[in-house]
Amino acid sequence: MSSNSKKILILAGDGIGPEVMGEVKRTLGWFEKRRGSGFETEDGLVGGCSFDKHGVPLTDETMQKAIDADAVLLGAVGGPKWDNLPFKDKPERGLLRLRKDMELFANLRPALVFDALAEASSLKTELVKGLDIMIVRELTGGVYFGSPRGIETLPNGERRGINTQVYTTSEIQRVARVAFELARKRGNKLCSVEKANVMESGVLWREEVQKLGDTEYKDVQLSHMYADNCAMQLVRQPKQFDVIVTDNLFGDLLSDCAAMLTGSLGMLPSASLGAADKGGKRKALYEPVHGSAPDIAGQGKANPLACLLSLSMMLRYSFDQGEDADLLEKAANNVVAKGFRTGDIMAPGCTLVGTKEMGDEILKELDRLAA
């Protein structure tokens, strides 16, 4: 492998992860053969499959490989088989450790509606047709990680649960910077979301984002919105948004809300990015939003498009291969427009296909587009 090849660690994980990742590998092969991309891939275990083999949801060795890679592609983790494991051994802890040890603080969640699937949304078609929102969620701070935290018993015998919502200037600014930069490359509009009306951490968030906008991003149209209003606006008039930046808790809720505007979780990718090094490179993890779907695992029914679109995000954000990313997204759009559907997005008059057949159609479409 040439020294300039890109090192990708592939962690297929549990459930439908290995099946959808199989189509990603085939597509990577196409880009190597047809577009001259050089990829060096290695496989590793994460989640339940790692626990079954090694007794931990992520080994130190795999963690180190993730840190050394140029990008990590993950399938899915978890399943009922591992539901009763102790908290520290649960498959999801493997994913959380990847995010934490790779210091991935910015989670990018696009909510993109393919025209052919606009009717799959639970909202009226005209509200979502052409929808293209990017939600940037802070991923390593806030109430999910703040301390003190825990459950304690009070002198009167009552129990009390404690979590702490905490943010610093630098934590807010670094995720806001990612969002501002994305807005510049898109529609030049950024909406920052918090609860400054009832939370001091929200006041700080609003002040720091505004300060950054005033000093470094005067060209970006910045607005602020309370999180509860944002949830309402997402289902009332979602196309008013371009890029949204928000904290860990609100980002968790709002990105899932936005995801459902599209009508299919099987179509949605995500990226989690770390800080840029001196050469501008960031540690990065790419994964579909859908879970491990144990009910259909191993049956060849899973929709590989979210995982393939995660690959597209990897090409765009880790390897600066924007044209290749566009090509893959166009192929996915065209295949869906031609009526090919996996079960999760099936509609009357369309052609039902399985995981591999959908992958075949993507490769055929890539051939056609590249001809």
pLDDT averages per 10-residue partition of the chain, 371 residues: 77 98 98 93 98 98 97 97 94 94 96 91 93 96 94 98 98 98 95 98 98 98 98 97 98 93 86 89 94 95 97 95 96 96 93 98 97 88
Supply the pLDDT for residue 2: 45
* Residue of 222, 251, 221 whose CA lies nearest to 134: 251
Angle at 27 between CA 23 and CA 29, to 5 degrees: 120
| 252 among known catalytic residues | yes
291 annotated to a ligand binding site: yes
299 annotated to a ligand binding site: yes
Q: Please say whether the beta carbons of 76 and 306 come within 8 A.
A: no
Q: Which two tokens stand for residue 349?
A: 């008059």
CB atoms within 10 A of CB 187: 16
CA distances from 307 to 38, 174, 355, 369 (A): 20, 27, 11, 20
What the chain holds in terms of domains, given with CATH numbers, is 1-112+265-371 (3.40.718.10), 132-261 (3.40.718.10)
Active-site hit among 68, 115, 214, 228: 228
| 242 among known catalytic residues | no
Query: Is the overall model pTM greater than 0.85, yes or no?
Result: yes
CB proximity list for 132: less than 8 A, separation 6 or greater: 110, 111, 112, 113, 186, 242
CB proximity list for 169: less than 8 A, separation 6 or greater: 204, 208
Q: Please say whether the beta carbons of 151 and 159 come within 8 A.
A: yes
Q: Please say whether the beta carbons of 151 and 161 come within 8 A.
A: yes
Can you say whether the dihedral through the CA atoms of 181, 183, 188, 193 is positive or negative?
negative
Active-site hit among 70, 195, 242, 247: 195
298 annotated to a ligand binding site: yes
Backbone angles phi, psi at 229, to 5 degrees: -65, -40
Query: How many Cα atoms occupy the beta-carbon half-sphere of 352 within 13 Å?
Result: 8
| 217 among known catalytic residues | no
Q: Please say whether the beta carbons of 28 and 39 come within 8 A.
A: yes
Supply the pLDDT for residue 265: 73
Active-site hit among 256, 326, 356, 360: 256
258 annotated to a ligand binding site: no
CA distance 94 to 74: 11
Burial class of residue 276 (count of CB atoms within 10 Å of its CB; 0-12, 13-18, 19+): middle
296 annotated to a ligand binding site: yes
Active-site hit among 252, 286, 317, 344: 252
Give the type of residue at 312. Answer: S
- Angle, helices 355-370 vs 305-317, to 10°: value is 40
As a three-state string, the secondary structure of 45-73 is: CCCHHHHHHHCCCCCHHHHHHHHHCCEEE
Beta strands 269-276; 106-112: pairing state:
antiparallel
Supply the pLDDT for residue 36: 87
Query: How many Cα atoms occupy the beta-carbon half-sphere of 196 within 13 Å?
Result: 14
156 annotated to a ligand binding site: no
Active-site hit among 25, 43, 132, 144: 144
| 214 among known catalytic residues | no
| 256 among known catalytic residues | yes
99 annotated to a ligand binding site: yes
